[in-house]
Amino acid sequence: MKIKTKNMIQGYIFILPIVVLLLALSFYPLLRTIYLSFQNVKLSTMNNMKFSGLKNYKVLFTREEPNFFKTILPNTIYYVVGSVVGQISIGFLLAFLVNKKSIKLRGIFRSITILPWVVSGIIISISWRFMYEPRLGILNFLLGKLGVENLPTWLNDPKLVLPCLIVANIWHGMPFSFIIQTSGLQSIDEDIYEAAVIDGASGWQQLRYITLPLLKQFLVMNLVMTSMNTINSFDLIYATTKGGPLYMSEVMAVHMYRRAFDFGKLGEGAAVAVVILILNLFLTITYLKLNREKVSK
């Protein structure tokens, strides 16, 4: 019993440094943000805080321009849904194709596919901003060569700015989905497919009744993690458009930064951060519930 207690104490001592780091780098900033969301505090006068209750949340939800329910929230939903659907579907398609034994040089193709994921978000933002540039960008150059006269302004067009950012975000985040789906596909025993072929199952039937059901856990995890990453997405949008034009690309993460640092209202920025936290918690709980149902089955 003494040896067991001694080993337990040693175990706690070994994990103590990481616990301290988590408390210092994660839990304290989280609690501090929640605390600031109930304070009337500005960036220029951080030492002069006054309790304001739910005022910051009221201002967030009742501000006319940009309106949270008419502009910020729809922009966020549009951006998240478009990015997540694109990343998961394209990632799955590429993983499914690369997983085929008939594909040659699969290792090289996988390495090329994951390259966008390891590139800095700022570099990607600048690169796509230059490609979307109306006068000097490669996209309008190619369209001009094809004879298109009315060239789009891309990021300066309120109707095109979010689709343009979604395309850039799909290109950047798709490799993450590709990696998860590749791991899922490789976890499926090939004897199952061989048995299905013997029973006369077509390729579509194998995909529908074997691949997708066995990948459900990976797909759910991919869905939630990709959604959380996209909700928290900031650098790509801010470095490309800063939320413009006319707030049409201002999602919640960008709105949080602008209220806290561009306008110096830390309390309002903290309130937006808490709303983002609630959305992330909802996604996490949803994942755990779906995952638990999958395991129980």
Mark residue 250 as left, alpha or beta (left: phi above 0; alpha: psi -120 to 50; beta: remaining): beta
* pLDDT of the residue at 248: 94
* pLDDT of the residue at 26: 82
* pLDDT of the residue at 190: 85
Residue 164 clears pLDDT 70, i.e. is over it: yes
Which helix (H) or strand (E) element contains residue 40?
strand 39-40
Task: Tell if the pTM clears 0.85, that is, is over it.
Answer: yes
Q: Residue 46 phi/psi, 5° resolution?
A: -65, -25
* pLDDT of the residue at 294: 58
* pLDDT of the residue at 1: 52
* pLDDT of the residue at 69: 94
- Going by C-alpha positions, the residue among 271, 241, 236 that lies closest to residue 256 is 271
Cα–Cα distance, 103 to 94 (Å, whole number): 11
* pLDDT of the residue at 105: 75
* pLDDT of the residue at 293: 62
Beta bridge partners of 40: 50
* pLDDT of the residue at 44: 82
pLDDT tier at 220, thresholds 50, 70, 90: confident
pLDDT tier at 146, thresholds 50, 70, 90: very high
Residues 14-68 pLDDT 10s: 888 888 888 888 888 889 999 999 999 988 888 888 999 999 999 999 999 999 9
pLDDT tier at 266, thresholds 50, 70, 90: very high
Residue 171 clears pLDDT 90, i.e. is over it: yes
Better pLDDT: 290 or 199: 199
Residue 12 clears pLDDT 80, i.e. is over it: yes
The percentage of residues in the chain with a pLDDT greater than 90, rounded to a whole number, is 54
Neighbours of 211 (CB within 10 A): 18
Residue 269 clears pLDDT 90, i.e. is over it: yes
Better pLDDT: 110 or 275: 275
- Per-residue exposure over 141-160, b if at least 16 CB sit within 10 Å of its own CB, e if not: eeeeeeeeeeebebbeeeee
Residue 296 clears pLDDT 60, i.e. is over it: no
Cα–Cα distance, 259 to 42 (Å, whole number): 10
| Residue 222 token pair | 């991919």
* pLDDT of the residue at 118: 85
CB 232 within 8 A of CB 294: no
- The arithmetic mean of pLDDT across residues 197-211, rounded, is 87
CATH class in words for 37-187+215-296: mainly alpha
Residue 226 clears pLDDT 80, i.e. is over it: yes
CB 90 within 8 A of CB 174: yes
Domain boundaries, the chain: 37-187+215-296
Residues 101-136 pLDDT 10s: 767 777 788 888 888 888 888 899 999 999 999 988
